Amino acid sequence: MDSTQIRAMADDIRSGNRRALARAITLVESTRQDHREQASALLEMITPDTGNSIRLGITGVPGVGKSSFIEVFGNHVIDQGSRVAVLAIDPSSSISGGSILGDKTRMENLTRRREAFIRPSPAGTTLGGVARRTRETLLLCEAAGYDLIIVETVGVGQSETMVSEMTDMFLLLLLPGGGDELQGMKRGITELADLLLVNKADGDAKKIAQNTVLDYRSATHYLPRKHKSWAPRVEACSTAEDRGILEVWEIVQEFAAALKDSGEWEQRRARQALDWMWRETAESLLVDLKRHPAIAEALPQIQAAVQRGDKSPTVAALDIVKLYRQYNSTADHSNGSTDL
């Protein structure tokens, strides 16, 4: 694509053309160097049109009913006059070949709506790579005019922290019961949550769900406060009976209003953007460094020595940086065809 085509793509995205948006996301997901440069040019063009959505992270253990919840919730939000995009982060998708949102039968009703845009998790070898693409996709969706961007993740390793870092608000879905086994606590992610939602509060489980709500209300007292202007809320809902779901959208809007009022919204966004910039910079430098042939050759030995304790990590790092600077000073490789 030349710059005229990229400009046309940016215009198409802004006007709400879904096909252009999908093509742009494929572009930001590519690791090819020329694609990276085109993606960068595109992002530069659409940046003025970004930042106006509510970015909502959603997580919960498998079986908690994330997709059903998002389907019912998303439909309510659209009925209230907003447009909804659903993105996913699944660190395991590079191994399993894509699991969350990969199944076409999921969120069938939401998929059909004109005001919804659903995108499965990008494949990627590193969590950092997956995060970068999701962040960029999020910006593209904002430029396309989506008012609520949901970033869904499965409860694997560090993906929750990552989603929390790229969103404004974090919703943790829970199952009724659990008692000693408060799943969110066990996995150490409850403290990321701004809203804890006990799902499947229907039929026989209704009473259990209410107790779970009370358990979590007292448990969240012990957790560090994430925002000055917002204390975590714990509520119950039933996706099957469609109870308490519309209320979630009200809570989300309350949250946004409270944080915008206190200035924490803007502060958080600014901090997230700067952190992201430096992480991107460090990541790009490390990627660049690792493709230096001399380093690629030396690395296995260096790493093994460090792991065995035969080489100090500082000394190893110094060696690596020296090799890198020698490489850069002897030739200009900036037009290499390998991935950035």
Task: Give me the residues that bind its own copies (CB under 8 A), please.
Answer: 36, 39-40, 43-44, 47-48, 50-51, 132, 135-136, 139, 180, 182, 185-188, 191, 219, 221-224, 269-270, 273-274, 276-278, 280-286, 288-289, 302-303, 306-318, 320-322, 324-326, 328-329, 331-334, 340
Q: Minimum CB separation from its own copies for residue 210, in Å? A: 20
Q: Which residues contact 34 (CB under 8 A, 6 or more apart)?
A: none
Is residue 135 within 8 Å of 164, Cβ to Cβ?
no
Residue 130: count other Cβ atoms within 10 Å of its Cβ. Answer: 24
Which residues pair with residue 89 across a beta bridge?
Answer: 153
Minimum distance from residue 288 beta carbon to its own copies (Å) = 7
Least distance from its own copies to the Cβ atom of residue 318, Å: 5
Between 90 and 288, CB nearer to its own copies: 288
Q: Give bridge partners of residue 56 from the DSSP assignment.
A: 150, 169
Closest approach, Cβ 284 to its own copies, in A, equals 5
* Count of positions (residues) in the chain: 340
Cα dihedral 87, 89, 94, 98, rounded to 10, equals -50
Closer residue to its own copies, CB minimum distance, 248 or 289: 289
Residue with tokens 């993740």: 153
CB of 40 to its own copies, least distance (A): 5
Measured between alpha carbons, how far is 136 from 112 in angstroms, rounded to an integer? 24
Of 112 and 308, which has the nearer Cβ to its own copies? 308
Q: Which is nearer to its own copies, 96 or 281 (CB)?
A: 281
Task: Please identify, using beta-carbon distances, which residue of 43 and 70 lies nearer to its own copies.
Answer: 43
| Least distance (Å) between residue 281 CB and its own copies | 4
Structure token pair of residue 129: 């790579």
Residue with Cβ nearer its own copies (15 or 326): 326
CA pair distance 6, 337, nearest whole angstrom: 21
